[in-house]
Amino acid sequence: MEHRSLFEPTTLGSITLKNRIVMPPLTRQRSGQPGDIPTALMARYYQQRASAGLIISEGTQIEPRGKGYAWTPGIYNQAQIDGWRTVTDAVHAEGGVIYAQLWHVGRVSHNALQPHNAAPIAPSAIQAQKAKAFIETNPGTGTLVTPSMPRELSVSEIKTLVELYAQAARNALSAGFDGIEIHSANGYLVNQFISTHANQRTDEYGGSLHNRLRFLREVVQAVSAVAGPERVGVRFSPLFTSTDEDRVYIGFVEEDPHQTYIEAIKVLERAGIGYLSIAEADWPNAPDLPDAFRREVRSTFSGRIIYAGLYTAARAAGLVEAGLADLVAFGRPFIANPDLPERIANGWPLNALDAAGLYGGKEQGFIDYPRYSPSTSDVKQEVTV
């Protein structure tokens, strides 16, 4: 077996994970329409990848206003809960573990995606820059658009949003998920409250870093009260540098990202949640996270730590062996290789990614990637995300 450290079992709360390889949240835009309902096709997709130690679902919006991209699934009504139940049942039938990622895009949306064509909601009325929403133009077709100008939330509305996260957690457990991940990365709603780039409030939710972390604290507490903190994870994207690339989303580079995110991680540590997931910069030639930050993350947080980025299997194993990570997530390779853990363990080559099939559509580029079939011409190659 290659990269043996990735295949040592570990625990996540009361759950034993069979390996350290994670399938991270991957937006695929294939929910059933109308209604943004998870489908049997989605169940097949996740079931194919149940050999991961942990699957984290694609982001699923906690309410209609949380939607920033056409055809993404929700988890706020019974039809959606029932749809997700087909997914979790399929994964569990193969011995897999699956968490639901709770998602609210906040200002990274468009009037066309909002109920009654209203303005998106946000901590402050600041339009998102270097970000895109995706709207449907005709059935099955759509286009990327600049997010609309948002409106600022009132304090009472913020309190209601916290309860919407708690209700979404209840819905996820009802749908059979093993736990909850709170999406707090990539410039979406929770991240917007944390960042000075999006939050210019002067009340208890803005100004100081302590105040800007208040929404995160309240959401983590509310979701933990529903699921139990050991079944809760949070995802951050602590960027230390930016890029001029035209990207759908990227997130924020804070004035002091080290301090900002170490303080945010202290919130999670005090809450006693099960894991912290860190999404690293994933554009070509992106710099690595500073070693000092990785070390302080480990010394600050006592739960499980997941990293995701441009990892080779060897580099992922090295991070685990160094004690800096407990699990490592591989995104694009898991899209193209439903049997990714087996391929890593045996050094088998990877299927090529069908970029045209990433977002929207049906079976092509979704459930039609083959499992590995041995042949004498195979050449080993590194696994990257």
| pLDDT tens readout for residues 50-69 | 999 999 999 999 999 999 99
The amino acid at 194 = I
Do you know the residue count of the chain? Answer: 385
Which one of the listed residues 46, 76, 165, 188 is annotated catalytic? 188
> Residue 249 catalytic?
no
pLDDT at 248: 63
Q: Give the mean model confidence (pLDDT) for residues 343-353.
A: 96
pLDDT at 383: 46
Q: What is the pLDDT of residues 80-136, one digit of tens each?
A: 999 999 999 999 999 999 999 999 999 999 999 999 999 999 999 999 988 999 999
pLDDT at 281: 87
Band the pLDDT of 283: cuts 50, 70, 90.
confident
Instruction: Judge whether 364 and 354 are in contact, CB under 8 Å.
Output: yes
H or E element, residue 181: strand 179-183
H or E element, residue 182: strand 179-183
pLDDT at 287: 79
pLDDT at 285: 77
The number of C-alpha atoms within 13 Å of 105 and in the hemisphere containing its C-beta is 35
What proportion of the chain, given as a percentage, has pLDDT over 90?
A: 90
pLDDT at 246: 62
Bridge-based pairing state of the strands 21-23 and 54-61: parallel
Residues linked to residue 242 through DSSP beta bridges, in sequence order: none
Region of 36 please: left (phi>0), alpha (psi -120 to 50) or beta: left
Q: What is the pLDDT of residues 4-40, one digit of tens each?
A: 999 999 999 999 999 999 999 999 999 999 999 999 9
**What whole-number distance in Å separates Cα of residue 214 and Cα of residue 200?**
14
